[in-house]
Every structure is written in structure tokens, then in C-alpha cells.
Structure 1
Amino acid sequence: MQKVEQQGNLLPKLNTVNAIAGAVLFCCPWVLSYDGLVLASINAWIGGLALMVAAVAAATDRWPKLNLVCLSIGVWIFAVPWLLNFSNKVDPATSHFATGVIVMLVSLVCLGGRWITMKPSKEPRP
């Protein structure tokens, strides 16, 4: 039982990975110079900022459902190159794909870990 409780302490640290991924995505339009790709830049800024806020809030462990929000943002970031039609541009598409995969994996691990470490209720089920 001790290993499961120790795993519960790891979950906020994993949300830090999502916050860092959001910060990297936020900086990508400048670092990789998304020339002429306004929609990709705007999506990177909004998606990165939303991810940073949601991941930091999820790391506080006050709202456990925020990992679902992080997962949803990760799915959006992964799918947006096709939806906004910039999947043929290497730099923006790669940064969105990589960030989306990282966020989805970390969010799924956090959700799964939270499910494993949940304490059973003492009330009998009807």
C-alpha cells in the first residue's frame, strides 16, 4: 500500500511536465518562426497558455478533474494542424504533434494514477 501512496505524490510533479510543454508550445512561434502562419501562431499561444494554466491548477490537486481538461487540450493541440490546415508545414505541425502526444500521455498517466490511489468510500453501495 505504501507504493501506491508514494505514487500519489508523483502526480503533481507529472503535471509540471504538462506546464513545461505548454510553455514550450507558447514560445514555438518565435523560436521556430512560424512565418505567415497566423492561425498556427495564435493556436500555439492560446493552447500553450491554456495548458500552462490548467496544468498548474491540476498540480495543486484541488480539482482532480483538471487532468481531463489537460487531456482535452492535448487532443486539440494534436489535431489542430489538420483542422487549421497547416499539417504540411514541418515546424508548426511537428511542435503541435509532439506537444499533443506528451500532454495526452502525461494526462492519461495522471488520470490513471489518480484512479489507482483513490481511497474507497466507507459507505456501502446500494
Structure 2
Amino acid sequence: MNTSLRKELIPDVLNLLLGAGLFVSPWVFGFSNETTAGWNAWISGFAIAVLAIAALAMFAEWEEWLALAIGVWVAASPWLVHFSANAIATPLHVIAGMIVAAVAAVRLWYAHGGYPHVTA
């Protein structure tokens, strides 16, 4: 496996770890009894992990668009589904969501050409 291919796998592995971490976070950090925050973490974490596995198998632009949307959802969900008072679940969701969304946005940016090339 060449170095370039390994570098391309890093964002997908990162998203897989974030998805798995988000999935287990209600048990690890003790908010599994808070139904809304727990279910949001389980469903969102599972979706992120599944998309990351699909992206590891074969890159497709739609996977990145879905990851971006789910990342934005996860970051905003404490306020959208009203569990922002939870001092553990809220920052966890915001940080994980922002990282997933940022990784997906960068992958989409590079898929569409990355930096603009200026020719003289």
C-alpha cells in the first residue's frame, strides 16, 4: 500500500473512531439514562461509523455529503432536541459533530479540486 493511499484513509478512520466513540459515550460518560442525549449519540454514532466504513471500502461523494450533514446535526442537536443542559453530552456532541463535519468538508473540497490553481 503506498503512502498516498494510507493518507487518504486517515479521515475515514478518524470518522470511524469518532462514530464508535459517540456510540459508546452514553455508557462511558454516564448519560445513557437521559433518553434524548443517549439515543441521539447511539443513532448518530452508528450512522457516522457506517458511513466511515463505506468510505473506507470505496470513496463516494455522497458519503461525504451525508457525513457533513450528520456532523452538523450532531453539533447542533443539543439545542435542536433540547439536551443542552447536560454538561457532559453537550460538549461531546458539539466537538464530535464539528470534527466530523470539518473532515467531510475538507474531503469534499479536495474532491472538487482543492486549492484554486492560477496560471499566468
The reply to whether TM is greater than 0.5 is yes
1:91 is aligned, of 88, 107, 116, to 88
Aligned-residue offset at 1:59: 2.3
Tell me, yes or no, if the aligned pair for 1:57 and 1:66 is still in contact at 8 Å.
Answer: yes
For residues 35 and 58 of structure 1, what CA distance do their matches in structure 2 show? 29
- Gap regions ≥5 residues in structure 2: 115-120
Aligned-residue offset at 1:99: 0.4
Match of residue 80 from structure 1? 77
CA 1:51–1:35: 2 relative to 1, 3 Å: closer
What TM-score do you get using the length of structure 1 for normalisation?
A: 0.80
- Gap regions ≥5 residues in structure 1: 1-5, 118-126
What TM-score do you get using the length of structure 2 for normalisation?
A: 0.84
CA 1:88–1:27: 2 relative to 1, 3 Å: same
Match of residue 121 from structure 1? none
Aligned-residue offset at 1:115: 1.6
For residues 63 and 100 of structure 1, what CA distance do their matches in structure 2 show? 20
For residues 30 and 41 of structure 2, what CA distance do their matches in structure 1 show? 12
Taking the TM superposition and a 5 Å limit, the aligned residue runs for 1:15-34 are 15-34=12-31
Tell me, yes or no, if the aligned pair for 2:12 and 2:52 is still in contact at 8 Å.
Answer: yes
CA 1:35–1:10: 2 relative to 1, 3 Å: closer
Structure 2: which amino acid aligns with 1:75? V
Match of residue 114 from structure 1? 111
Match of residue 11 from structure 1? 8
Aligned-residue offset at 1:7: 5.9
Aligned-residue offset at 1:8: 6.8
Identity rate of aligned residues, in percent?
A: 33
Larger RCO, structures 1/2 (Cα 8 Å, 6+ apart) = 1
SS at match of 2:26: helix
Summarize deviations over 1:79-112 as a string: whole Å, max 9, x none.
1100111112110101100100110111111111
Tell me, yes or no, if the aligned pair for 1:7 and 1:113 is still in contact at 8 Å.
Answer: no
Structure 2: which amino acid aligns with 1:107? A
2:50 is aligned, of 50, 53, 58, to 53
- How many residue pairs get aligned? The number is 112
Bigger Rg, structure 1 or 2: 1
